[in-house]
Structure 1
Amino acid sequence: MQWLDLWTLLPVDRLLRDTTPLQRGIIRHLILVLDLSSAMAEKDLRPTRYLLTLRYAQEFVLEFFEQNPISQLGVLGMRDGLAVRISDMSGNPTEHILAIQALRAKDPKGLPSLQNTLEMARGALFHTPTHGTREVLIIFGALLSSDPGDIHQTITTLVTDKIRVSVIGLAAQVAICNDLCTRTNDGDDTAYGVASTNNIFANCS
């Protein structure tokens, strides 16, 4: 099963499949966020959530640029309660793939912070042209977020800045993820999906 089977849960993929040729000329600006917290060390996905995510994230980057050749992508991580910049926003898939590959040498640790990472993503997207999309796609393996302030205020700012957030959970549903996706996608709660180890990754091991 391909990594993009995961994304069919979300509007991120439907945007690619359902738009007209004219609309496909739109420039997308996407921040891919990877959970690098200790929750990713779990082995319910083989060999671990962490290593499987890194593997398929690389495939996603290639697929993204094949379908969106003039678009921009950046990669962030969540570790030890901090946001980590993995690769800057650019249209060079090789740069992103090498940066993701380098993460294999590090172990997942600590807690994730959705708020800190969303604020960093917002900063990266702030100066992108308004005629393109502003998107954040989060792979979230934890069941909680260690945030320094009011994440609901951060979500309100994302809505104001027209930044759409989608989340793929690797564990159970988390209320704040549902709220984040629903509010930033005009009330559409389908931007949040939880991957089932029984189907989404059934053929990945």
Structure 2
Amino acid sequence: MHFLKATAFLLAALSMQTVSAIPARNGYSSTPDCPVGRSSCKPGESGVLRVPEMRAMVDGKPSEKIGHYIKLSKAGDKKHDQQMTFDVPKGAKHCAIRWDQGEKRKFVVKDSGLVSIYPTEPSGAESVGSADFTNWPQHKGYVSHLVTSVECQEKLSLLLSLDYDGSVKMEQDATNGWYMEYTC
């Protein structure tokens, strides 16, 4: 009987943790630090925003279709870039862009996986950082990678582009893909 109570408690705790890691449909984090619907944060608070909006870039402009998968490719002059967008609470001061890979994942890299990150405004701006996905799908276990820190904006959009021929495909969820940590 004690085992059943302990198991029920553990399952309840895990389900609460899982729910808190799944992003709300409105783009705000559902963690205790930034409850659903909150559009601002107070000094000293921090939070994590996961599964940003992903849009394919078509003729240099983001498509209307919103997705959540990482899907980048480059073959010669043909490129499939993406724009990722985070809805950041008002008052956030320090925004760190990261990516992680969980124990379980759908993640494939072919050839080069070196991704440069650019601000979407102004057009033609220099890279603010890069993430190298090359060889990481073969690594066992959870790993988190710091990519760069950027100036926080309430709607933070960044352009993602492969530097060399290759492709990166990753399904984003509570433990895989791009995310942002912020403090206020």
Tell me, yes or no, whether TM beats 0.5.
Answer: no
TM-score (norm 2): 0.29
Whose helix fraction is larger, Structure 1's or Structure 2's? 1
Structure possessing the higher radius of gyration over alpha carbons: 2
TM-score (norm 1): 0.27
Higher relative contact order (CA 8 A, sep 6+): 2
Whose strand fraction is larger, Structure 1's or Structure 2's? 2
